[in-house]
Amino acid sequence: MVQYNFKKITVVPNGKDFVDIILSRTQRQTPTVVHKGYAISRLRQFYMRKVKYTQQNFHEKLSTIIEEFPRLDDIHPFYGDLLHVLYNKDHYKLALGQINTARNLISKIAKDYVKLLKYGDSLYRCKSLKVAALGRMCTVIKRIGPSLAYLEQIRQHMARLPSIDPNTRTILICGYPNVGKSSFMNKITRADVDVQPYAFTTKSLFVGHTDYKYLRYQVIDTPGILDRPFEDRNIIEMCSITALAHLRAAVLFFLDISGSCGYSIAQQAALFHSIKSLFMNKPLIIVCNKTDLQPLDAISEEDRKLVTEMKAEAMKTVIGQGGEPENEGVLLTMSTLTEDGVIAVKNSACERLLNQRVELKMKSKKINDCLNRFHVALPKPRDQKERPPCIPQAVLEAKAKQAAEERKGKTEKDLEEENGGAGVYSASLKKHYILASDEWKEDVLPEILDGHNVYDFIDPDILLRLEELEREEGLRQAEEEADDFEMDGEELSPEEQEALAAIRKKKNLLIQQHRMKKSTAESRPVVPRKFDTDRKFTTKRMGRQLSSLGLDPSLAINRARSKSRGRKRERSVERGEADGGDTMDIDGNHASKKLRLRSMSRSRSRSRPPISEVVPGEGLKDSAQKVKAIKLAKKSVRKRNKNARRGEADRVIPTLKPKHLFSGKRSTGKTDRR
């Protein structure tokens, strides 16, 4: 099956862009540095390469244009005539011919100048020949600029053409403008053709697809045709004529019997008779549309006579195809507004087209080759006894029982509609349970659960017991309310009233503190030291816990003691210096701050251990591992230090050649700085 996809054609650049593309590619893809000191053979080769490469790029680009545009003689006649109607095939062929001529001229120019470059005797002469060659090639391209622009316009228009397969099953809709063709197409396909109440809304061919008997059918909506001479028809009408002439399809001729389209039945009948030669050898159906406005039986006698003549012409095409006229629906009525008869028209067209295609295939020569591959096995009769098909009695009884149940019983859909519809009615799944008794299906509790009888664990007097418990709870609450009274200040002395106010204030304060603790419980440390008033978290307790876990607690206890001792030492030193006579002469907080810093430094001063010694808390096993780790660390930063980087993220690229030393012409004088 041939598919014509014109959207794949490459964009055609205009003359100026064409030259820019090729010359920039030559500049990028070929060497650019040459010196007059090179050997003459090398100079010639350098410029010959430029000329040849430019010619090859021009040749490839122009060849792509020529090959991708369709040849009107090689494609299907439908597309050939359609392109001729839309673009005029003479102009089209002339444009492609000019592209081909330009390609040959560029090849000839390159050949001539390469021959001259073989005898170039200097750099200047070789360069001049190269410039002349490329200039003449660009001149050729600029001369065919109008043809390139014309082909680009055609390419854009062809990309918008519908993808029509001329060889597949096709239904073609034709008729006068505004008779309901596009409305019918929108009803039977998923195409979205614009529908307006004026003529020539559809200005080109539109394609949709529909299914019938698991086969895909192509539906083509054509623009309206007017009844006038062939020479006077415009491009829009010629698109429809081209499709009718070349596509092997079922034709639906639409007839507006209401006259609302602006054309009478007589005018539509005249169009039918003028183009009936295009309906030969095609299934034809006359569709009387807009029956909601005017039924077929209510038209006048003259119009009915015209419709009868059109039906007789359509019957001739059926007889010519070998069909039976009395069984063929060649005249159908329809209304796209009420959708009355729409599906019948579609099914009739698809059925007739399918029958015709099958008959043509049966008459073709290929059918003999296919029939040779088939073998139909027919059993030979062994006696004269008849053996009709036999269905077992049990199967018949089961089928009869099932049919009776279906007639008698209601479906879930019926029950749902009777009981409030979807969202209100909930289907019961328990009625399909297979149990010993149907009464058990709706039980709330199962009879047996985990091997035990559920009823044995249920107290029959459970409700009475619950009432007694609730009554007892109510009595207890009443007693508690009687015992809990609020002391008022009228019966108390002034001293007792002050004490009561202090108690209430303290109570409110405790409640607020508790609420604050509760609100910050997640972000608060687990055991703050200031809240450990009972001294629960001591070193002795820590030692007992670590010993129970099988760990030696001595190091942890000594570390905790040394830390606490250091802090006590700092505080004592500060206090001793603050209480001494020297601090009395010093005025202000500044002196006390200096003393505090000095005391802290004194308390923390200690000798630094050797590099190889392992300090507790570093996470290293022994001194050998620490030395190895230090070596690896130094090695990792060696490259960074060598490049004078500040860190791993330093990406600064220093100026290796300062501009004031390495630019400009050298003057007379010292040049050793360079």
pLDDT digits (tens, 9 = 90+) for 512-567: 888 888 777 666 555 555 556 666 677 888 888 888 888 888 888 887 776 555 44
State the pLDDT at residue 320. Answer: 54
Q: Are 303 and 344 in contact, with CB atoms under 8 Å apart?
A: no
Residue 388 has pLDDT above 70, yes or no: yes
Token pair 């010629």 is found at 238
* Maximum mean pLDDT: which of 4-8, 112-116, 290-294: 112-116
State the pLDDT at residue 490. Answer: 65
Q: How many residues does the chain have?
A: 674
Kindly calculate the radius of gyration of the chain based on its CA atoms and give it in whole angstroms. 52
More confident residue, 286 or 491: 286
- The arithmetic mean of pLDDT across residues 21-42, rounded, is 91
What is the distance between the alpha carbons of residues 551 and 545, in angstroms, rounded to a whole number?
9
Residue 577 has pLDDT above 80, yes or no: no
State the pLDDT at residue 663. Answer: 73
Residue 321: which pLDDT band, with cuts at 50, 70 and 90?
low
Residue 373: which pLDDT band, with cuts at 50, 70 and 90?
confident
Structure tokens at 579: 């209480």
Using N-to-C axis directions, what is the helix angle for 539-548 and 554-579, rounded to 10°? 170
Q: Are 129 and 120 in contact, with CB atoms under 8 Å apart?
A: yes
Q: What percent of the chain has pLDDT over 70?
A: 84
Structure tokens at 196: 């307006």
**Average pLDDT over all residues of the chain:** 80
Tally the C-alpha atoms within 13 A of residue 501's C-alpha that lie toward its C-beta: 8
Residue 104: which pLDDT band, with cuts at 50, 70 and 90?
very high
What is the distance between the alpha carbons of residues 666 and 96, in angstroms, rounded to a whole number?
59
Residue 353 has pLDDT above 70, yes or no: yes
Residue 588 has pLDDT above 60, yes or no: no
State the pLDDT at residue 544. Answer: 85
- The arithmetic mean of pLDDT across residues 103-128, rounded, is 94
**Nearest CA to 151 among 279, 12, 333?**
12
List all residues 6 or more positions away from 453 whose beta carbon is below 8 Å from its beta carbon.
Answer: 447
Span 43-66, pLDDT tens digits: 999 999 999 999 999 999 999 999
Structure tokens at 648: 């791993």
**Nearest CA to 163 among 76, 250, 95?**
76
Give all domains of the chain, ordered by start, each with its CATH number.
6-157 (1.20.120.1190), 163-365 (3.40.50.300)
State the pLDDT at residue 529. Answer: 57
**Nearest CA to 282 among 209, 212, 349?**
349
Using N-to-C axis directions, what is the helix angle for 301-320 and 265-274, rounded to 10°? 20
More confident residue, 24 or 431: 24
Span 185-235, pLDDT tens digits: 888 888 878 777 766 777 778 888 999 888 899 998 888 888 777 777 777
Q: Are β-strands 215-221 and 250-256 bridged in parallel, bridged antiparallel, or unpaired?
A: unpaired
